[in-house]
Structure 1
Amino acid sequence: MSLPDYGSGFAALRTACPEDWHAYTRHAFLDALQDGSLPRSDFLSYLRQDYVFLIHFARAWSLAVVKAGSLAEMQAASATVHGLLHHEMALHIRLCAAAGISAADLAATEEATGNLAYTRYVLDAGLSGDFLDLLAALLPCVLGYGEIGARLIATAGETPYRDWIGTYGGETYQQICREAGALFDMALRDRLGEAAQTLPRWRQLERHFRVATRLEAGFWRAGLA
């Protein structure tokens, strides 16, 4: 199947690190999700860590509101924060509740080292850099999950993880991805012009994107461990 279109800026960043992107979006953890062979205990452990991750990730997207240069950018970033807090995290609460994990237990999950490293890297990219630095570090998660969800929902058979796949492959989340990609394209044009990829500044954005992509793959590895 063709890849979903989340904008030209994201496509260029993804193309710049093909091996890292493949390792992330085609990981064995996802194969096991798709065919249903992933042990339930591994899935629940992942969900708990991802819930903690999303709390910090929502803070990073909230920082994008602060770093934004226009009302339109603020509105787009705040819409993503809303999607994370009220759509994506609701999935984790619902699935964990069905497994007997209360909201209090979920919130008390101890943050794994790799999780901490990833979320703090993204926050540091935003605090020490500008709006573009922050977006480049944020996009692998948001748009990577969108790409994964779009692929899995089109090919997954009977699997106990259909709800997870449906959330990320569904239209609500896909629209979040399209809006995030459009935000990045708009920010690139406003700050770097139409030839952003020819500028030295682009190399820094590639680095943030690549590091975050590698940290995403590490998240899957931890889930299998």
Structure 2
Amino acid sequence: MFSARLKAIAQPVLADIENHPFVRGIQAGAVPAAALMVYVEQDTCFLDAFAKVYAGALSKCTTKDQMRFFEEQIRYTLNDEAGAHQILCDIAGQKLSDHQHAKQRPITYLYNEHLFNALRTGDLIDLIAAMLPCPWTYTEISQQIVDGAAPDNPFLPWIEFYQPQPGQIDGSMVKTLFGMVDELAIGLSEERQHEIEQRFLRSCELEYEFWEQAYYQKDWKYKN
């Protein structure tokens, strides 16, 4: 399966994400409030772009089942993902409404442009490969975290938010997307498969850098 190849090449960066101090801090129950707020602000910017890319995916679909899937994901991203941000704001003692209009920081900008590039220049499989690392890595790290989190960990609701739930859309989306990749990869040349692998791997690395940006509160060096 082509999806197995994608997961295999991404194992080093997935391990780095799982061991990142932000992620380890979630597991331990302590992350600096400033880092949490940078994360919330930048993830809001990212999800706005993510919803637009999901919308663009509709034009690349060839079946109604594919179209229904992406339409559901648009609604989920727009309506439900803010719940995870609210949890982090509550932990930090901040109002979510005060952190929903920030400007993109460097990694957010780069990640969003990476997704838009896949939308502009690629086929559906390119777009899925660029988008998949976000839900995939969150599912993986939330499983790792929940296995080691204490019952009184304040981040436990956030951790459980990203755990697959039977009967809910987020519970099957990663599996569905990898299944689409496997189906769409049939018959592709080795060269095309390599191109898709690179899109997937770049997004995985950008996921790591997204955690870095929030934890160390990285921003543009020259701004006004």
Q: Does residue 1:38 correspond to 2:45, yes or no?
A: no
SS in 2 for 1:110: coil
1:182 to partner: Cα distance: 2.0
Q: Is the contact between residue 29 and residue 224 of structure 1 (CA under 8 Å) also seen in structure 2?
A: yes
1:204 to 167, 192, 195: 195
Residue aligning to 2:143: 150
The CA RMSD over aligned residues, in Å, is 2.3
TM superposition score normalised by structure 1: 0.85
Give the letter for the 2:45 counterpart.
Answer: V
1:175 to partner: Cα distance: 4.8
SS in 2 for 1:171: coil
Residue aligning to 2:221: none
Cα distance in structure 2, aligned partners of 1:90 and 1:221: 22
Change (3 A) 1:130 1:177: farther
Residue aligning to 1:5: none
Q: Is the contact between residue 61 and residue 81 of structure 1 (CA under 8 Å) also seen in structure 2?
A: yes
Q: What percentage of aligned pairs have identical amino acids?
A: 25
Give the letter for the 1:14 counterpart.
Answer: K
Cα distance in structure 2, aligned partners of 1:11 and 1:152: 23
Q: Is the contact between residue 164 and residue 170 of structure 2 (CA under 8 Å) also seen in structure 1?
A: no
* Deviation string, structure 1 residues 16-61 (Cα, Å, up to 9, x no partner): 2321222223322111111012112211221121111111111111
Give the letter for the 2:159 counterpart.
Answer: I
Q: Does residue 1:176 correspond to 2:170, yes or no?
A: yes
Q: How does 1:43-192 map to 2 (within 5 A)?
A: 43-93=36-86, 95-96=88-89, 99-103=93-97, 105-157=98-150, 158-171=152-165, 175-176=169-170, 178-189=172-183, 191-192=184-185
Give the letter for the 2:165 counterpart.
Answer: E
Change (3 A) 1:224 1:179: closer
Q: Is the contact between residue 130 and residue 203 of structure 2 (CA under 8 Å) also seen in structure 1?
A: yes
Aligned residues: 214
Unaligned runs of 5+ in 2: 217-224
Unaligned runs of 5+ in 1: 1-7
Q: Is the contact between residue 60 and residue 122 of structure 1 (CA under 8 Å) also seen in structure 2?
A: yes
Give the letter for the 1:68 counterpart.
Answer: C
Give the letter for the 2:36 counterpart.
Answer: F
TM superposition score normalised by structure 2: 0.85
Cα distance in structure 2, aligned partners of 1:84 and 1:173: 17
Which sits farther off after the overlay, 73-82 or 168-177? 168-177
Q: Does residue 1:217 correspond to 2:208, yes or no?
A: yes
